[in-house]
Copies of this chain bind each other. A is one copy, B any other.
Amino acid sequence: MTATLPKGRLLGLGLGPGDPELMTLKALRLLRATRHIATFAKGGRKGHAERIIEPYMDPSQQLIRLEYPLTTEVHFGAREYKSALREFYDRATLQVASIMRGGADVALVCEGDPLFYGSFMHLFVRLRGDFACEIVPGVSGMSGSWSAAGLPMTWGDDVLTVLPGTLDAPALIARLHHCDAAVVMKIGRNFAKVRQAIADAGRMKGAIYVERGTMAGETIVPLAEFSGDAAPYFSLILIPGNGRRP
Contact = CB atoms under 8 A, between A and B. Distances in A.
Interface in A97-130: 113-118, 121-122, 124-125, 128
A40 interface: no
Interface string A14-37: 101101111111101100000000
A161 interface: yes
Given A121-B155, A158-B164, A160-B161, A115 B25 contact: no
Quickly give the copy total for this chain.
2
A57 interface: no
A178 interface: yes
Q: Which bucket holds chain A's interface residue count? A: 35 or more
B140 A143 contact: yes
Query: SS class of chain A's interface: helix, strand, loop or mixed?
Result: mixed
A27 to B, nearest CB: 9
B128 A113 contact: no
Contact of A137 (B20, B139, B164, B245): B139
A151 to B, nearest CB: 6
A224 to B, nearest CB: 21
Interface in A42-99: 82-83, 85-86, 88-89
Nearest to A155: B121
A147 B114 CA distance: 8
A143 to B, nearest CB: 4
Contact of A25 (B21, B88, B135, B159): B21
Contacts of A160: 116, 161-162
Interface of A: 12, 14, 16-17, 19-26, 28-29, 82-83, 85-86, 88-89, 113-118, 121-122, 124-125, 128, 133, 135-140, 143-144, 146-147, 150-164, 166-167, 175, 178-179, 214, 245-246
Given A20-B25, A83-B246, 7 more contacts: A21-B24, A22-B26, A82-B246, A85-B246, A115-B143, A124-B152, A160-B162
